[in-house]
Structure 1
Amino acid sequence: MHAETATLAKAAMSPADEAALIRKVSWRVLPFLILCFFVAFLDRVNVGFAALHMNRSLGFTPTVFGLGAGIFFIGYFLFEIPSNLALHRFGARVWISRIMISWGVLACACVLVRGETSFLVLRFLLGAAEAGFFPGVLLYMTYWFPAAARARVMSVFSLGSVVSLVIGSPLSGLVLSLGTRAGLENWQWLFLLEGIPSILLGVIAFFFLTDRPRDARWLSDHECRWLENTISREQATVDRPHHPLAALRDPRGLFLAGAAMLNIMAIYGVTMWLPQLVHSAGHLTDLQTGLVTSLPFLCTAVAMTLNGAHSDRTGDRKWHILLCALGGAAGFVLTALATSPLLGLLGICLAATGIWSSNTVFWTVPMRLFSGASAAASLALINSIGNLGGFLGPYFTGWIRSASGGYEPALLALGGALALFGVLMFVFLNSNTGKAGS
């Protein structure tokens, strides 16, 4: 007992030193992970811009495009848990590198799409290759950041997805405006040019990432001990199953997976279709479509960073999730009922802000409830089932559009899913079951 007390005393830090250490770790870890998430999200959603020309070139109906956009997440779902368990076993450095290289190769291979079958097969394989990246990063963060810092860290990390839409949207529009070159159509160049960075970053990840604080040469012994001891103490207070696969029977994980699915339905229901929605509403060029599409995500980048920081500062999760989700749902309703393109754009800005701001705080809940090998399986379970919403959102948006001839019913359905997500999470975090993650 005396030895343990002495060890903890040696690892103690003042609040100022703790804050300085978190900043140090953040600057070392987050910029590279943000860049990786940037290219991951770009390769995942650039099909929405490719559709502006690919659908016409290959004769795809809205239903076929929606199925192809969403089937990515079926591959993601099937391979998510094995991939995340492999990351826990082999380490982030090796496994994140493997994920990025394989998905970059398949993203480039989308230039080979010649019809419906090849489109569906390559989108499925792309999802299978990327499986494990996002929950793997979540697991990685539980090795490096104490619970009190995670909403802020998640908000900053999630900037990768939002910045990819802020920068990637006009970039995609610019590539499409170049037309056919060297025998490849503009949508084929889009897949090729936006897939290559993933391969390069995958190689860099192998040399750059550090698996655990104890392996970090850029930390002092004192800093390493404080991080290891603080995170170990937090994990010791978590009620978790001992065997990693036992987490799959935990009702908390299943509930959070269902809630995540509702949120992700809204994310990808709007993201995959937004370029076509903007293009049809304003009769814009490809570059103009890209610039307008980036505006909602520019607002989102600011809002979700402020929301995550405020959530950490107050320690509240439930109200930050609920209010953002309800605000986003109101944005969907405004877009559906808008009588002018400007009002519709305002609604989409509100919807996107609400979706991502609630999503980043949501992920701090399972990160707090689960740890260790349990977290590897639980985070993968929540993300894989949740990402089935990435299939349902785009597919049903396309199906509803084909059936109704417009986007309005689909937008209202997506807003309803987001509102339900917020209410369910509020109830969960207000219960005894969810207290540990609140």
Structure 2
Amino acid sequence: MVVERKLISKITWRMMPFLGLLYLIAYIDRQNVSFAKLEMVDALGMSEYAYGLGASLFFIGYFIFEVPSNLLLDRFGASKWFARILISWGLVTIALAYTQNATMFYILRFLLGACEAGFFPGVLYLLTLWYPSAYRGRMVGLFMIFSAVANAVGAPLGGALLDLDGLYGHAGWQWVFLATGIPAVIAGFVTLFYLSDRPEQAKFLSLQEKGWLKDRLASENSGMEANAGNGFKALINPRVLLMSACYIGFPLAAYGLSYWLPTIVKGFGVSNTANGFLNIIPWVLVGIALYVIPAQADKAPAKTPYIVIPAAIGAICLVLSAIISNHIMQFTFLSIAAAGIFAGQPVFWSLPSRFLKGAGAAAGLAAINSVGNLGGFVAQNVVPWIKDSTGSTIAPMFFLAACLALAALLVLVIGRMIPRVPNTDTARGNMGVSDCVR
């Protein structure tokens, strides 16, 4: 047990801060379009709906290239493939700063999705190579905390960058893309030299540690569906298909809220900078929820309550935000809703690794994420359409709440199709996150 604790701690301190930093950069790159919108719509002469369509094309490129990207990661290794992903999406983000018209915006957003495809499920797959199952929920939670940090950092950053309008001849919305694209390119080159593809290649682990981890993972993976010869076979697995359909509701609610929240807050009559700082609050709550919920779920054999209950709370708060006219209460319910939307997602992502491994896990995780992220495409088209149709910036929350509630119901079905964690794993997993990183 002492060897296990020291090993998990060593891997966590080496891997998770770096992977989290990459996710922070990725999430800020995704969020930048919501702040650029506040000026870019008028600058390019686009309607809210036309801009939403362009922003959503990211998810089409993401959907098409997600599974192939993750299978190439399995072939070439995480360090090389993540470096390619980061550098290419950084260059496309920089190019967005020089968008001349709607057509160019549409093309670049599609390319951005194609370039970033494979990063998030690639990290999930990488965690299956480095961590026993008892730790994966918490590690995904730690990883996703950086999305909350990204939103908290990106919100005031986006507002402040908009206020740089005119500096060196660039509009504020151009600075939003420039300041968020350059770090991705730099991080790509660092990744190439820092990240180890597999434990057996890691110079920071001893031979004893490598042997223990190899034996532990081999024991857990015995009997699973590897589909090593053809990872695409995982795509027709009924559990993968159902999880893909179920997951749509979570990105739909998440992107719908994060994309539209700056617009809602702007309707309160605040400045760009104040808007950015107010948008920190929801993501602080998200970060806390992403720490607490996965840590508790990893101690329990039944995972579905830790996905369903937060999602139900999120759906209820979205509805309450839309039926209450007080701005403070609206913002309060939206902040709680954000925490509910995100809190159970790390627990959700711990489920596929219970029945998939190898190339099958790479393909299966990518399929679930790619199909699910089509919810982002739906959100960024339907949300502005509802606003344009109703004239209300808060009315789209009813739609997000319904989709999130449906996803929660489907999780209950999935929970009956996936085996519980064996008691031995649960006992081993009773360490909290703080124990893992001590």
Q: TM-score, normalised by structure 2?
A: 0.94
Measure, in 2, the Cα distance between the counterparts of 1:366 and 1:45: 27
RMSD between superposed Cα atoms in Å? 1.3
Q: Which moved more, 1:119-128 or 1:330-339?
A: 330-339
Where 2:311 maps in the other structure, the secondary structure is: helix
Identity %: 39
Measure, in 2, the Cα distance between the counterparts of 1:358 and 1:65: 30
Measure, in 2, the Cα distance between the counterparts of 1:368 and 1:119: 41
Structure 1 residue aligned with 2:432: none
Structure 1 residue aligned with 2:428: none
User: What is the Cα deviation at residue 17 of structure 1?
Assistant: 2.4
Structure 2 residue aligned with 1:257: 244
Structure 2 residue aligned with 1:357: 343
Where 1:271 maps in the other structure, the secondary structure is: helix
Where 2:196 maps in the other structure, the secondary structure is: coil
Structure 2 residue aligned with 1:374: 360
Structure 2 residue aligned with 1:407: 393
Q: Which moved more, 1:18-27 or 1:230-239?
A: 230-239
**In the alignment, is residue 389 of structure 1 matched against residue 389 of structure 2?**
no
Structure 2 residue aligned with 1:83: 69
User: What is the Cα deviation at residue 368 of structure 1?
Assistant: 2.5
**In the alignment, is residue 275 of structure 1 matched against residue 272 of structure 2?**
no
Where 1:273 maps in the other structure, the secondary structure is: helix
Structure 2 residue aligned with 1:434: 418
Measure, in 1, the Cα distance between the counterparts of 2:50 and 2:215: 52
Check 1:228–1:437 CA distance in 2 against 1; reply closer, same or farther (3 A cut). same
Measure, in 2, the Cα distance between the counterparts of 1:193 and 1:239: 43
Which portions of structure 1, spanning 4 or more consecutive aligned residues, are displaced by more than 3 angstroms?
239-242
CA contact (8 A) 2:251 2:375 kept: yes
Unaligned runs of 5+ in 2: 423-438
Can you list the C-alpha shifts for 1:11-32, whole angstroms capped at 9, x where unaligned?
xxxx232122111101000000
Measure, in 1, the Cα distance between the counterparts of 2:222 and 2:20: 29
Unaligned runs of 5+ in 1: 1-14
User: What is the Cα deviation at residue 240 of structure 1?
Assistant: 4.5
Q: 1:138 aligns with which of 124, 134, 137?
A: 124
User: What is the Cα deviation at residue 264 of structure 1?
Assistant: 0.8
Measure, in 1, the Cα distance between the counterparts of 2:420 and 2:248: 21
Can you list the C-alpha shifts for 1:372-404, whole angstroms capped at 9, x where unaligned?
010111111111111111100111001111111
Measure, in 2, the Cα distance between the counterparts of 1:409 and 1:95: 41
Structure 1 residue aligned with 2:212: 226
Q: Which amino acid aligns with 2:419?
A: K
User: What is the Cα deviation at residue 427 of structure 1?
Assistant: 2.2
Structure 1 residue aligned with 2:22: 36
Structure 2 residue aligned with 1:69: 55
Where 2:167 maps in the other structure, the secondary structure is: coil
Check 1:436–1:246 CA distance in 2 against 1; reply closer, same or farther (3 A cut). farther
User: What is the Cα deviation at residue 308 of structure 1?
Assistant: 0.8
CA contact (8 A) 2:56 2:378 kept: yes
Can you list the C-alpha shifts for 1:72-110, whole angstroms capped at 9, x where unaligned?
000000111111110000000100000000000001100
Counting only pairs closer than 5 Å after superposition, residues 284-433 of structure 1 correspond to structure 2 as 284-429=270-415, 431=416, 433=417
User: What is the Cα deviation at residue 273 of structure 1?
Assistant: 1.2
CA contact (8 A) 1:328 1:354 kept: yes
Q: Which moved more, 1:25-34 or 1:243-252?
A: 243-252
CA contact (8 A) 1:321 1:426 kept: no
Structure 1 residue aligned with 2:34: 48
Q: TM-score, normalised by structure 1?
A: 0.94
CA contact (8 A) 1:74 1:391 kept: yes
CA contact (8 A) 2:252 2:376 kept: yes
User: What is the Cα deviation at residue 356 of structure 1?
Assistant: 0.6
Q: Which amino acid aligns with 2:385?
A: W
Q: Which amino acid aligns with 2:361?
A: A
Structure 2 residue aligned with 1:16: 2
CA contact (8 A) 1:169 1:293 kept: yes
Structure 2 residue aligned with 1:12: none
Measure, in 1, the Cα distance between the counterparts of 2:80 and 2:261: 35
Where 1:313 maps in the other structure, the secondary structure is: coil
**In the alignment, is residue 266 of structure 1 matched against residue 250 of structure 2?**
no
* Number of matched pairs: 421
Measure, in 1, the Cα distance between the counterparts of 2:183 and 2:394: 36
Q: Which amino acid aligns with 2:236?
A: R
Counting only pairs closer than 5 Å after superposition, residues 170-185 of structure 1 correspond to structure 2 as 170-185=156-171
Where 2:218 maps in the other structure, the secondary structure is: helix
**In the alignment, is residue 158 of structure 1 matched against residue 130 of structure 2?**
no
